[in-house]
Amino acid sequence: MCAELRRTPDEESVEGRSQLLEFGCWGYQLSYRQREVSATVRQVRAALVENRTRSLGIVLAAAGLAGFIALGTRASFALYLVPITTEFGWGRGTFGLAVAVQNLVWGIGQPFAGAIADRWGTGRVLVSGSLLFSGGIVLMANSSTPSGFYLSAGLVVGLGLAACSFSVILAVVGRAAPPERRTWALGIATAAGSVGNFVLIPISRLMIESFGWQSALTTSALATLVIGGLATILNGGRDSANEVNVADQTLKEALREAAAHRSYVLLVVGFFVCGFHVVFIGVHLPAHIEDIGQSANVAATALTLIGFFNVIGAFSSGILGTKGPKARLLTMLYLGRAVAITFFMVAPRSTTTTLVFAAVMGLLWLSTVPLTSGLVAQIFGLQHMGTLFGIVFLSHQLGSFMGAWLGGFLFDQTGSYNIVWWIAVALGALAALLHWPVDETPIERESRPLVKAH
């Protein structure tokens, strides 16, 4: 190439020929270097994708175990309603309000925990969360007054759950999975966490019967410390090998964009209903079952069935979410909940009816989570997923607050849960309508390199 340039004639001067020669050689070398750099970048990207694929299984296993402990322990709290309120002579509204505060604090803390994890990594958030969760349960076991119970079971446990549950863990999974497998991976993580419901609830029941509720809570507190030990594996920050070239938004820009997006607002409002359903049923179903003349063992079995079928439902929704519109699936799930609750209310009261209801609700229980979180990632990308899904989850927890508190309040006022059950039916129908018009199209932004956080 340089030799050819030396033979190029210059009509004006020797100096012109010299400059042309120098410029041509320089241009050729630059072009060659650019090709070398491009090849290296392609190799690095391929290595990152290959490494991320290999590590996805490890991330899913760690995320599943963290969810297994956190969600299973949290679900088992329903078994403590009767023994705690009986021992201290409290109304169910006291226990319900404590759980309502827990869910509200959990929800309020979730966007902040997600933002910290997005910015500085998940590890320190998980460690802090596991310590708060464990400490809150120990305090809960030693609280003998309503105010102490609100502080421990409500505030401290709620803060712990905010730092070691959905928005933090699922954001790591979302970054580890390639786009075409993301909803599937989120479904796997949710399903694995759901295993805790049907494994830890029977174990908690056995511990309560064998050692008493205080010792059972203390043992559960020790188990939650394992979540902090998973921090090294789940220490994912904002960078993703699956988003090599994205628009680097500030948090303020991301929040403004999401607030102006109609589908995001619909997801936020709709997830309120999910929280209302799962917490009202999770907290008050065992007591309701005993109220209608069935045994405590039937109540525990019902919660276990919810946990078991929840695994199937979450896993299935993760798969279906990769094959069809997620918003349509969410519409069917919420409509299915309304139908299932109506069946439970109008069908003859029997053990069979109760267990069938529990199995159906289990299929619909957390199957909303991989679809909702998958939509957030699909529409807005991964950079601020922890924060944006944290806000959606805050709405979920506002619904949880209402479900836990209203269930206990109306029972104390009327001696029955019937009004709350029918409110749950109406909310299920409303959520089905809200999710139908959700637009799943990803937002297109100007592509520029993502600046790594330090």
Full DSSP string of 322-382: TTS-HHHHHHHHHHHHHHHHHHHHHSPP-HHHHHHHHHHHHHHSSTHHHHHHHHHHHHH-S
Q: What is the pLDDT of residues 224-269, one digit of tens each?
A: 999 998 888 887 544 444 444 455 778 888 899 999 999 999 999 9
Q: What is the pLDDT of residue 443?
A: 87
The CB density around residue 360, as the number of other CB atoms within 10 Å, is 21
- pLDDT surpassing 50 at residue 385: yes
- Is 31 among the domain residues? no
Q: Which amino acid is at 107?
A: G
Q: Is the pLDDT of residue 86 over 50?
A: yes
Residue 278 token pair: 């799962």
Lowest mean pLDDT among 11-20, 115-124, 411-420: 11-20
- Per-residue model confidence (pLDDT) at position 29: 53
Work out the average pLDDT over 1-14. 49
Can you give the residue range of the structural domain that contains 309? 57-236+247-435
Q: Is position 279 within any domain?
A: yes
Query: For residue 152, is pLDDT > 80?
Result: yes
User: CA 50, CA 56: separation in Å to the nearest integer?
Assistant: 10
The domain that holds 167 is classified in CATH as 1.20.1250.20
Residue 405 located in a structural domain = yes
- 357, part of any domain: yes
Task: Return the higher-pLDDT residue of 33 and 399.
Answer: 399
Is position 224 within any domain? yes
| Calpha distance 146→366 (Å, rounded) | 30
Rounded to the nearest integer, the mean pLDDT of the chain is 82
Higher pLDDT, 100 or 344: 344
* 32 CB-contact burial (10 Å; exposed 0-12 / middle 13-18 / buried 19+): exposed
What integer pLDDT is reported at residue 314 of this predicted model? Answer: 86
pLDDT of residue 454: 40
Structural domain includes residue 300: yes
Mean pLDDT value across residues 436-440: 93
Place of tokens 């959905």: 166
Task: Provide the pLDDT for residue 425.
Answer: 97
Predicted local confidence at residue 15, as pLDDT: 53
> What is the per-residue pLDDT across 29-72, written as a single tens digit (0 to 9) for each?
545 454 554 444 354 344 444 444 448 888 888 888 998 999 88
Q: State the Cα–Cα distance between residues 114 and 238, nearest whole angstrom.
A: 10
Rounded to whole angstroms, the Cα distance separating 83 from 214 reads 10
Does 359 fall in a domain? Answer: yes
Asked if the structure places residue 50 within a domain, the reply is no
Q: What's the confidence (pLDDT) of residue 247? A: 55
> Which residues does 231 contact at the CB level (< 8 Å), separation at least 6?
122, 123, 124, 126, 127
Cβ 429 vs Cβ 337: under 8 Å: no
Phi, psi (rounded to 5 degrees) for 245: -135, 100
Mean pLDDT score, 156-175: 85
Quick one: average pLDDT of 355-375?
A: 92
Residues 305, 253: Cα–Cα separation, whole Å = 43
- Residue 99's contacts (CB-CB under 8 Å, 6 or more residues apart) are 77, 153, 154, 279, 283, 404
Cβ distance 329 to 440 under 8 Å? no
- pLDDT score of 230: 87
User: Would the pLDDT of 450 be above 70?
Assistant: no
Q: What DSSP designation does 151 have?
A: I
**pLDDT-wise least confident of 42-51, 85-94, 303-312:** 42-51
Tell me if 442 sits within 8 A of 379, measured CB to CB.
Answer: yes
Domain count along the chain: 1
